[in-house]
Chain A
Amino acid sequence: MAARHTDSLVQPRLAVSEAEGRAVLEPSGDWLIETIGQMDRQVRAVERDHSVKALHLDVSGLGRIDTSGAYLLGRPLRQGDDPVPEGRISGDHPVAARLIREVHARMDHCPPEEASGWGLRKMLTRLGAGTEHVLDEAWDTLGFFGHTLVTLGASLLNPARLRWTSTVHLMETVGINALPIIAALSFFIGAVVAFMGASLLETFGASIFTVDLVGISVLREFGVLITAIMLAGRSDSAFTASIGSMKMQQEIDAMRVIGLDPYEVLVVPRVIACVVMAPLLTLAAMLAGLFGGLLVSWVTLDVSPSFFLTRLQNVVDWTHFMVGMSKAPVFGLVIAIIGCRQGMKVGGDVESLGQRTTASVVQAIFMVIVIDALFALMYLEADI
């Protein structure tokens, strides 16, 4: 009986013979989960056409049976939760009657799944819920921001409490490991800007201004933006995923009961790592971008590197560099906080981990661009 070969299954059948006001169900063949699919309709028809009290079951012709088959055969005999009365199941079968009774006794009917409709009302509800969610998110982020700043302040006042090892380790993964990709991207952006500048400005015979263009755009915007976007894509998602899976495995709860503050252990080192490494990465990005511009100018415009550098020093003011640099720590802070907060928000299932990681990258990049625009407005007003 144990070895069940799907090729040797006998199709199940159900014969119903009626006599003296009783209906006797005579199943034959194998009533197994593989085969009973097509019997469901017929059994339902029997349930509909006969009263429960008149039904009897004769299992003598039955082949093999499993719990699912036993459930389906026993279903017409069900009367609420009462056990199947003696005498209703007859016939010779090694296990059928026993299995049907056993299954009947253990079966509970469960509530169905909640249906989700798609009406106009549903849509409006979703819209409202979505709006509320966005507001909640913003409010929550502010709360998290405040909490983190307080913990950060406390940690800085008492540096012995800082997790130096993990901070330094994070600086390496956030900073050093991201250096090659950020430098490479920035190099190409610098090169592209120089190319476009060269071909546009040449029409005015002002191609030498390419140097100014590359210098200002890379120092003011591109260096820091590329760094921030790479940090958001690379480190922010890593923060969310690692804190989120700790949350899922209850590691954060374990920390709390042991007396560790998750903000101090997990968030503060990440914030420090990002705030410290963002300016350094930005510096590298600026240098690489300028280098890209320099190479392109040299090849397409015949501007020698020494001339490029002299002109850069003469016309491009230090303030551009300062403007770019001043944004870096702010971006680092925002990115770290969004990544950590989304990680802390992960629920118990894998799905939410994925959703939170996506949300964290999207929010981080969004915030970086918005803050960059605010900075631009501010410096414009201040004439810097």
Chain B
Amino acid sequence: MDPTQATREVFWNIQYTWLVYVLMVPTLAVFGWGFWLKIRRWRAGQPAVRFDRPGERLRLFLRNAIGQGRTIKRRYAGVFHSLVYTGFIVLFLATTVVAIHHDTPLHIMKGHFYLIFQSLIVDIFGLFVLVGVALAAIRRWISKPKLLVYTDEASWILVTIFVMALTGFMIEGWRIAVTDDPWAHWSPIGNLFALGSDPWMTDTAMQRGHVIIWWFHLVVAFGWIAWVPFSKMSHIFTAPLNIFTANLDGYGGSLKTIDFETAERFGINHLGDFTWKDLLDFDACTECGRCTDVCPANTVGKSLSPRDIILDLQALMHKQGDQFLAGSNGSNGDGNGATLPVIDEKTAMAPEALFSCTTCAACMEACPVHIEQMPKIVDARRFLVMEEADFPEGMMDMMNSLESRQHPFAGTQFNRVDWTEGLDIDVMADMDDPAEAEVLMWVGCGGALVERNRNTVRATAKLLKKAGVKFAILGREESCSGDPARRVGNEFLFEMLAKGNVETLSRYGVRKVVTSCPHCFNSFKNEYPHFGGSYEVYHHTQFLDQLLAEGRLDRARSATVNGGRTITFHDPCYLGRHNGEYDAPRNLLAHLGGTRQVEMQRSGNQSFCCGGGGGMAFVDEPPDQRVNQERAQEAVDTGADVVAVGCPFCATMLDDGVNARRGDRDVRVKDVAELLWDEVGTP
């Protein structure tokens, strides 16, 4: 037998093969129609620029769509999805090979290629599909984790794929058996079926069975293909597209800006107000539930569920169909009732849920297909806040204070310069030449006005002084960066504060900003450029890390202050996930003599929010649903003596949490700068 002549007969044992082509027409028509409906809906959305920077997009696409970078982060799901995914790709290629071989003059399905790829590899990957689907079925039907959505559709998807793979092997096996295929051992699984059937089935029975199962296989496969655009399997196409068009600017820059001069409505309460990318997001969801699984609000038992937000919006979009198109096409949405409101007490988009989001972006980081849940929550909050003036009381007080006092802490007993007492710190307004200050130390409301954080900003200032950095503060001229207003949904207030701050900074010609508040940091870095304020922005841990590296802060003289302590670092969402800085604070902690660093179970980009972002620091949470306590417990469980933080909000939230959860152990919450000063500053 000459392996270079190896091949098999396409359509062996099959008559009326023309019927295949006839059936293919409606199949592809329905498939195309389904996707055309989707595309038409997306196109009704507002504009968004998501095809720029093709190089970066391609890289992201290769990593997370083709390479499944995020999907494989969950081990079990990652394994079975990879099995099915790679199986599908190989089986699709194999089908293409058959088509080329049979329908074009290129008879490629022969020889070693036939044996190695078309027989052996295809068999193995077919087995992958079977095993993958079986693993998925075990999860869905037996272990039943909470994160999944239990729909009939999802079950049918597993059943149909399994049936397709299984019948594929059956027809292969019977062909091998009946034709006594000399290359049978190259198709191990099919051969297994052949060997299994041989003893108890006659050739005629197998041949007849082959015909029946062959057509059955074809009908199921064609039906399945036609069904794809109408089921969550459409993610085969929508997910890669969604990843290619993902937001490339990091979560910190993911909120939309509003042009208040022209906007007909502030925020979103109608599908037509979403961008086409938002609408694509709804269709790209795979129902994997990872976003809800990692959501801090959901974890502590609140009703917020980013997965259900996306799925409910998807359902709304599908339900509204052409009505929604009519209500929004080309215009900014007319709000005349042609479209149903997206904020709805009865769905996941209930105001109560929307107002429990901490904007931590854990959902976005977890989503394998790069859906942007959090900005949609903020979009809806904007509508509630700016159009309806409807929001929780604590947020109301915070915003009132921002409006009249330019800081969110109503009732604080401190002013913006109290903390400088005895430190001799330059205030820009009092300097003869403010340009002498190389760096603006942006203190932040949380640093200057909250008692427990004043020590942090003092430590930061002392470290800067010690390193000989020429810096100044704005003192009373500093206003809130606007972050709390923006996350709560009051974009208008944010814009006023931002513009005011940019103006002040321009007046003093500020170019470099150091701040110990990651929220201010994020606003300066990602949001102020929109208002004409572009600065070199550092979080204090980044700046101090740089000073240490440059040798401007000498290493501790006494290694005893923190000596023997175990420290765990809590990543602030707005430093870590939103801006990708995980190392600087850890580097600084590594400089503390005689200490040991331990990591919490959820850290780095998987870190769990302290519960204070998104304006939640100003809201009284129900005692049994406190995000800060959940996180504090995790910190305490590491056995650490010190929970290191890098954010004034984390500091207060975790202080409360740790005090509630530390039992009789002595566990302290301290900012990295405080710890560093304790050591570097000790004579």
A joins B in a complex: no
Q: Which A residues are closer than 8 A to B by beta carbons? A: none
